[in-house]
Structure formats: C-alpha cells, structure tokens
A = this chain, B = another copy of it.
Amino acid sequence: MTTEFSLIQWIRGRAGTPRSLLMNIGDDAAVFDPSFASSLAVTTDLLLEDVHFHRSWTSPRFLGKKAVAVNVSDLAAMGVKPYACLLALALPENCTGPFFQELMQGFFESCSRWGMPLIGGDLSRSSKVMLSVTAFGYGEEGTAAYRSSGLPGDTVCLIGNVGLSRMGLEYIHQSSRTGLAEVSSDEALLHWAGNQNIFECLKAHLLPVPKIREGVWLREKGLVHAMIDISDGLAADLLHIARESGCSLELDADRIPIPAAAGRELAAVTGHFPELLDYALNGGEDYALAFTLSTDQMTQLADNYPSGFQAFQPIGRLKAGQPGLFLRTGGETRAYQPRGFDHFQ
C-alpha cells in the first residue's frame, strides 16, 4: 500500500549525502555544518503542471531532471558550486506509482550529475503535479556574481543557445505525433524528433543543461562583473542587469546567435517561417548564461577560457546612461522593449 511514509522511505534510501551533512531526510529539518563555505546562495523555483509543463508533453523522468537543472542554472548565474537541495512535491493520488518513481529517478540522476544531493523536503497530495525545489550553492572565497555588479564599459557575453527552447515548445505544440510522455532517454527523444535539429530544440526545452562549470569558473577566476541566467528571455533578463547595474545595455543584433537551422525545420512543420531574432530575444527557458566583464578581463578570458567549455560570444556592452535595453541593427540603435514571460501580464 502506498502511504506518505512509504514514499518518503523510498526517497530516503536513494538520496545521496553532501559533505558536512549532519542530518538528512527523516527529521524536522536537514542540518549541515556550513564552515566549508565563505558564502551560501539559496534559490527556489516552482514547476507547476499546466503552468510550466503538461504531463502529456514530458515524461516524468525528464520532468525530474529539469526540476533540478533549472535550479542549478540559478546557482551558475551566481558562480557558486551546487551543494544540496530540498524538494517539496505534490502529487495526485494516481501518480504515486510508476510516475513517482520515474520522476524521482530523473531527479536523482540530475542531482548526481550536478553534484547536488537531496537532503530534505515535503510531500503532499494535490490535484496537479507540483515541484518546488530549493537549491543551495556555495562559494569558497570572494563574492558571488550579482546582477547589479555591471560597470559602464563592460562587454556583455553569452554562453549557450537562445530561442531553441521556445522552438522546441512550439514543435511539441504543433506536432501531430503522440507518445512524448513516454520518451525518457536522449536516444528515444532523437527517434521521436526524427532529425537532429528538432532534437536539439526539444532537448533545449525538456532537458536544459545549466552552464554551471562555466559560471563557477568565471567567478573563481574573477573574470565576471554581473551575471544572470536566461530564463525569462534574453532581452528581459539583460534588462534586469541594465536596471540593477544602473547602466544602459546595448545589444548587437548581428552578434546574437540565431537558431537558423532549427528555424527552417520548425517552418517545415508549422508552415510559416519564424522570426528568428524574436525567438532569440524573447524565447525564454534557455538557461543560457549572460555576463559582463571589463576589457582587461575580456583579454584574460580569451587567453584562458578552457577548451572543453561551451563557447562564449560577445553580444553587446554596458554604457553609462539611462538604465535600459537598446538594440543595434546595422548602424542604428533603438530602445528595445522585451516581451519576456510574465506570469501575470
């Protein structure tokens, strides 16, 4: 018989243990000795059924993986290393069997991949599936990278793709294929997608890869001023940096990586060719990493950037002036109003 207690015991037997942990799952709180850290970062993200995802559009395995990855992406944006996480999980009664086990398998695989064991949480019945993950990251010295640390003269760089995730979402929306909820491996997803470009879009949406190695490295090397992960859309998130740093941010339209090949594939399905720059600027859920740094830091970055890391791309600059976002196309510069995702707009 499934009980709350039996589900917690199932989880308890599979969760890992981070260093310095004094008490994990099964008490009123998890407890650890934080003396290894000079700073602790904490972040929380909701994943709600029919708001952030649909059960027919993702397997529980992928959903569990994504819940961890999006929180790790927030830690990447601070340049801190993953330490541990909590999961508050609400499930309908008919989801406590295979759905629960697949979800948690995906969750634990992602925890293991990013070095962030589960140390506690809460479990509840509900009418819809809901995950609320809280993630802890740590820095061993120096300060974290804040949105407000940008300076006039900084170059704005991007690591990762933008626009692909929204293309993946639209492909899922428009495709007449069924069975995506049963797809729970890369191989099966490639097969379901039918070709490499669509696979990349679907993967960007369903299995985002946080740029944690890159974010931590940038901070540890002192080669970053402001940093943010791109979850609401490139333009909306860069506007956060501009506002918090009190600078104007000028974006070069022709340096933004445009998902052209994926766009052509999407057009073949939807029948109309997407506005690629709009996807790149306002896509959302990209989990790319944007950061700013001085000219001196930029030189050091170019000289020392590890070859195994995902490439960085300079896409604009911070300037003194009215905080805001500006788009430079050809020789012209105009104020740009992001159309990023807002839950209540």
Contact = CB atoms under 8 A, between A and B. Distances in A.
A329 interface: no
A345 interface: yes
Give the interface size bracket for A toward B. Answer: 35 or more
A137 interface: yes
Copy number in the complex reads: 2
A77 B3 contact: no
Interface string A39-56: 111111110101110000
Interface stretch (A101-109, A123-131, A174-182): A123-131
A4 interface: yes
Given A132-B88, A344-B2, A345-B3, A127 B42 contact: no
A78 B39 contact: no
A29 interface: yes
A202 interface: no
A309 interface: no
Given A86-B42, A90-B48, A132-B88, A34 B34 contact: yes
A144 B42 contact: no
B22 A31 contact: no
A284 to B, nearest CB: 13
Contacts of A140: none
Contacts of A26: 147, 244
Contacts of A29: 41-43, 74-75, 77-78, 80, 135, 137, 144
Given A26-B147, A29-B41, 7 more contacts: A31-B41, A35-B38, A42-B86, A42-B134, A44-B122, A45-B122, A132-B132
